[in-house]
Amino acid sequence: MSCSRCATDTARAVAAQTGVPASSGTLIAPAPGSAPSSDALARVAESEQVMSQVLRYQAFLMSDIGLKLNPFARTGITADSIAYYLGWKKDGNRDGKPRLDVQRARTVLDRLVKAGRLVNLGKQQSPGSKRSVCIYCTPEFVSQCKAVLPDES
């Protein structure tokens, strides 16, 4: 029995029991162009992977262990960290070793910022490092940190 035949039979049975007239029995399929493309689905999957990693990292920072390791670590996560933890790599450098795909992570993080799911805290420079990196976190994490930090007034 086909799916449309089964749906038609079910609609007729329900109509007979409830007294509500059955519909025509014609199934309406989504238009071919209305289904999301595989690229759009891949972007959503990447975004959810990144959000999961950000939330795990923030949970670690808010835990007792994270505070004991570094009491001043109440910041977000970087694109480098996302690429590392998710194993995103691209073609090798001169040595032939694969490099972290930081640009891919930065693109996804920026997409999440535009969607309002993350906040870009701006560029920060790590101690002992000459380069500065953007730090990202959720808006809820910013609120939690503000609640924990003493007032500057």
Cα of first residue to Cα of last residue in the chain, in angstroms, is 74
Domain containing 83 equals 37-148
8 Å CB contact between 118 and 110: no
**How many structural domains are present in the chain?**
1
> Residue 70: which CATH number?
1.10.10.10
pLDDT tens string 125-141 = 666 777 778 888 888 87
- Helix 38-62 to helix 79-86 angle, to the nearest 10 degrees? 110
HSE of 65 in the Cβ direction (CA atoms, 13 Å)?
4
pLDDT tens string 5-41 = 555 665 565 555 555 555 554 555 555 666 678 888 8
